[in-house]
Amino acid sequence: MSDESPDAALLRAVEDFLSQHDPKTMERTEFLRARFDAGLAWVHYPTGLGGRGLDPELQPVVDTALAAAGAPDNAPHRNVIGLGMAAPTILRFASDELKQRWLRPLWTGEEIWCQLFSEPGAGSDLAAVATRAVPDGDGWRVSGQKVWTSLAHDSSWALLVARTDPSETKHRGLTYFVCDMSTEGVDVRPLRQLTGEAEFNEVFLDDVYVPDAQRLGEPGEGWKVTQLTLMNERVAIGAGNTPREGGPIGFLARSWREAEVRDPALYDDVLRLWVDAEAARLTTARLRQQMEAGLPGPEGSGAKLSYARLAQQIASIEVDLAGADGLRYDDYSMRRPDLDVEENRPAAYRFLRTKGNSIEGGTSEIMRNIIAERVLGLPAEKRVDVDIAWKDLPR
């Protein structure tokens, strides 16, 4: 019996993999596919699905060794919804056949994912969705409108929540599907935001056919599946795997160091926000481990709330530090975002963009309700619509 430690054994597996797959000579996608097949994508996932059934804390062993060898990563910033929200939902609820079909191209970034959740009349109150799915042979016909759908214009697949039984209460009449975004009847239209970009979309579903095989969970139990996705979403947004001085605080720290004139009055603010960002980064490391182990909890709402607050405060100080130039932002042209040019954007861009942090992925007000009720155990708000059939609710 070997006395080799788990991290040493994993490091040896990485070295063996690299001896047969040279990232300097292999095409990027082929290398990523091979990495997935070798169980080095998500080491905590099951064997055959990109992993080895190991502790998620061992993933940095793989990532560090491959980065040192010059290996490409899977550009996680380009498929945040797929990696952070779709993958754990698929792993928990999809059939073995669909796990095999979806997880590898999701991880390699060959297929981008979005989520068709929010609607014009169902955002913070997501359980009130009105998009209908009715049985049709071996599948369902879906009709309705979704909104604020990030990456829908680039997505191959979508997580979809629809109402299948309007005679049930709003939480019980929902069913969860995966929708092929290339299906006839899917219409994606851009939504322009403060920055001029159109990260988001509204999506119209006109009699879209979804095979029953692409239903996750039982009919009427969509809210249970949705909760898993939402908890992972909040951890993915608020507890991203960033290095020290990564994310918003990195831009502020760089601006402070490069500034020709530093306002002493801002020094304490910069230092305080740096400490807050570092504390948040270390605190959320445990939440990522919970998520990777399939155990996301309501604590993710706290991470998401903290991230939104910090990002907005940091962006505001960055604008102050830039002085008059901080107000300069003159590119409001309608365009799709380029996720790889963040370094070249002005402080004013981040000031405008972070306004959305307290809305996307659940508003800060809803996050506070979840923390109050599910973390602190405070009395729940009175809700008068929980025992009324959805079809009888006023709209």
- CB neighbours (10 Å) of residue 22? 12
Q: One-letter amino acid identity for 265?
A: A
Could you give phi then psi for residue 270, rounded to 5 degrees? -60, -45
> In whole angstroms, what is the distance from residue 365 CA to residue 52 CA?
39
Catalytic residue among 119, 233, 292, 318: 233
Active site residue 233: yes
Closest by alpha carbon to 80, among 161, 151, 26?
Answer: 151
N- to C-terminal Cα separation, the chain = 66
> In whole angstroms, what is the distance from residue 118 CA to residue 131 CA?
10
Burial of 16 (0-12, 13-18, 19+ CB in 10 A): exposed
- Token output for 70: 């010059």
- Token output for 333: 């042209």
Q: Which residues contact 353 (CB under 8 A, 6 or more apart)?
A: 193, 194, 195, 315
Closest by alpha carbon to 357, among 302, 312, 314, 303?
Answer: 312
**Relative orientation angle of helices 28-37 and 96-108, to the nearest 10 degrees:** 140
Active-site residue numbers? 233
